[in-house]
Amino acid sequence: MNRRAAIVAMAQTRFEPKKAGERVQEMIWEVVKPVRDATGLGFKPGQIDNAVTCSDDFFDARTISDACVGDLVGAHFGSEEKVSQDGLQALFYAAACVLSGHSEITILAAHCKESQSASRNMITHAAFDPIFGRGVGLDYLAAAGLQARAFLSRSGYTEEQCARAVVRDRAHGAKNPKARNQSPVTLAAVMKSPYLCDPLKQLDVYPMSDGAIAMIVTTEERARDLTAKPVFIAGAGNCYNRFNLGDRDLASDDALRFAAGRAYRMAGVAEPKKAFDLVELAAAYSYQELMWLEGLGLVAKGQAGEYVMAGKTDLGGELPVNLSGGMLCGNPLMLGGLARAAECFLQLRGEAGQRQVSGAKRALCQGATGPASQAQCVMVLSGE
């Protein structure tokens, strides 16, 4: 990539089980104000010329869910576009707006209040084909259970190896003041938690949560005017798999591999196993931690289970993974990938506190959306 987009400011709420005392607008303002203050960009026309928002009509229980936050985000007299997918796709879009020349400075704001729904599964149920998918009761959890069983059967990995990834994420989350769950768990506790959808147990599945994230994205040329420590988007790629579950090999990670390949080529990454100081995976289910380490080319096929069990993905290990605590510590579905980019932003600026990787210069983050991780987005971020 000859030109790079840069993230110059980021703010996130604490992720909580239920932000009952805050309206969506209050949650958005909690993150929009800090990024504007950090860059000195106010609400005068032209200071920020574009906005990208990320939200979902079903979770917000209203049509056109971005309509109620446009004034708070504040691209006044500019354009505003909504992404109703994983938040990392929204960051991808914001970067595209800047690199295309259509925007000089774009503000990105993403929110989701999963607690407003009576059942998260009922909402994800609506993502399926109304005749061939909904009629058999499919939702994201059921799709993940099918994929987990297919992946474990093909790979030979065990539920214990998947549970070890949960233990690691919860240990990291205990060091993150923004994480929903800040208490460690034992391997025995994960294995004894009740089954929700075989082979997935309660602690294998990301918990319901509310939260918001905002970022400001600009050109490499403007970045130095707005912050002393910009974080650059060195490469990005995305890919969609087939819509119908029956048309896909659920144990395959083709979409992730293709997305990663595009991001690596753009960033000039030849050997992903040696390229990154940390990795953030938007794994909503524990088996995805292993599946995606392989799909990203970070671990050889058949070795992810042993790699995680040996502690090589722990803080201080060979390749630290999910130092934020990941989705298994609690991020809303819509913000899974964007929360991963937020952690990379902090790490590359040396602002991650107790979980900081010393001298971190390059990070990899990933996001997914759709049933059984149908659509994938991968991004390489650099502090240099």
CATH code for the domain in which residue 18 is found: 3.40.47.10
For residue 22, give the amino acid letter: E
Q: Which amino acid is at 253?
A: D
Sign of CA dihedral 23, 25, 27, 33: negative
In tens, the pLDDT along 200-253 reads: 999 999 999 999 999 999 999 999 999 999 999 999 999 999 988 989 999 999
Residue 302 in domain:
no
pLDDT tens-digit series, residues 333-352: 999 999 999 999 999 999 99
Count up the domains in the chain and report the number: 1
> If you search the block for the tokens 């000089």, which residue do you land on?
104
Residue 289 lies in a domain: no
Q: Kindly indicate the confidence band of residue 2, based on its pLDDT and cuts at 50, 70 and 90.
A: low
Amino acid at 332: P
Question: Does the residue 17 lie in any domain?
Answer: yes
Cα atoms in the 13 Å half-sphere on the side-chain side of 298: 30
- According to DSSP, the β-strands at 210-219 and 105-113 are antiparallel
What distance lies between CA 339 and its chain's CA centroid? 5
Indicate the residue type of 267: A
Is residue 11 in some structural domain? yes
What pLDDT shows up at residue 3?
Answer: 82
AA identity, residue 306: E
φ, ψ for residue 232, nearest 5 deg: -95, 140
Span between the terminal Cα atoms of the chain, in Å: 14
Residues with Cβ < 8 Å from 374, sequence gap 6 or more?
240, 241, 242, 243, 248, 255, 368
Q: Max CA-CA distance within the chain?
A: 58
Does 114 map to a domain? yes
CA distance 2 to 41: 27
Number of H helices, E strands in the chain: 14, 11
**Alpha-carbon dihedral angle through residues 31, 344, 340, 222, given to the nearest 10 degrees:** 50
Sequence length of the chain is 384
In a domain, 267, yes or no: no
Alpha carbon 377 to chain centroid, angstroms: 9
> Is it the case that residue 44 has pLDDT exceeding 90?
no
Residue 117 has pLDDT above 90, yes or no: no
51 assigned to some structural domain: yes
Which of 1, 4, 5, 10 has the alpha carbon at shortest distance from 341? 10
* Structural domain for 110, as ranges: 5-118+208-226
Say yes or no to pLDDT of 1 above 70: no
Asked if residue 278 is part of any domain, the answer here is no
Q: Are the CB atoms for 271 and 298 separated by under 8 Å?
A: no
Q: Put residue 157 in one of left, alpha, beta given phi > 0 → left and psi -120 to 50 → alpha.
A: beta
Looking at the chain, the whole-number percentage of residues with pLDDT higher than 90 is: 88
pLDDT tens readout for residues 58-72? 999 888 999 889 888
C-alpha to C-alpha distance for 293 and 239, rounded to whole angstroms? 17
- The answer on pLDDT for 136 being more than 80 is yes
From CA 371, how far away is CA 235, in angstroms rounded? 25
